[in-house]
Amino acid sequence: MRQTFGNENVTPDERQQRISKVFASVAGRYDLMNDLMSFGIHRLWKRTLVNSLTLTENAIVVDLAGGTGDVAHAIQCKTGNRPLVIDASWQMMVAGQKKHQDTLHWVTGQGENLPLADDSIDLVTLSFGLRNMTDIDTCLDETLRCLKPGGQLVCLEFSTPVFWLKPFYDLYSRLVIPKLGAFVAKEPAAYQYLIESIGRFPGQQELCKIFEQTGFTKVTYKNLSFGISAIHTGTKPTTGRS
């Protein structure tokens, strides 16, 4: 995926620049569009992710590609931990700071080059951001580097729906979502890219293999809404990389 943008072939640098423009252009209405596109179900998916977490009081949590901070804020409300939001789009984080009254920590950074020390983080959450990385493998390598031994990556991402749902889901994605993007966010091209990026993203089993090849252990996934999205979890080995 590092040399594609939607259906176009591009250089990795150009892909990164275009993705940055996408999120800069939709930052102000990103959360509204998510509600409209998913009929609000994305909030249930994120709540499921947060409810699955078990954190100690002093756990160090990073919400990678955290955007406007919805997941980080939910973690803070549930556990009392104050996550660090890392996102490549400062425009998205500015929108989040206004929304959450700046109760979180915010840092601009790329997932492929995290501004974090080795073995320093207890948990990384990554919601609907992995497919937007320029290099997924490098992002996962960086995440593994920063996690403490025994630390976890919990990744919520669009996935492959069950066979009977997929034709209807594909039709909705192709015909409805870009029109919503044009009407509400005034950016049909941005939402066309987002849909195409979902179609190119690895399915459940393939993503498990990518996690394992990176070095994560105890890799599992849980389907949500019949596989429209899935939560993948991986753990950093306690005795070096596998």
Check pLDDT > 90 for residue 120: yes
Q: What is the DSSP letter of 227?
A: G
Confidence of residue 221 (pLDDT cuts 50, 70, 90): very high
Instruction: Record the pTM.
Output: 0.89
Quick one: pLDDT at residue 242?
42
For 11-25, 42-56, 59-73, 227-241, which range has the lowest pLDDT when averaged over its residues? 11-25
Parse the chain into domains and list their residue ranges.
4-235
Residues 23-50: what's their mean pLDDT? 84
Check pLDDT > 80 for residue 13: no
CA distance linking residue 193 with residue 179, whole number of Å: 13
Cα–Cα distances (Å) from 113 to 59, 95, 134, 138, in that order, read 22, 23, 11, 8
Confidence of residue 20 (pLDDT cuts 50, 70, 90): confident
CA distance linking residue 130 with residue 64, whole number of Å: 9
Residues 216-226: what's their mean pLDDT? 98
CB 93 within 8 A of CB 30: no
> What fold, for 4-235?
Rossmann fold (3.40.50)
Confidence of residue 33 (pLDDT cuts 50, 70, 90): confident
Quick one: pLDDT at residue 176?
84
CB 148 within 8 A of CB 121: yes
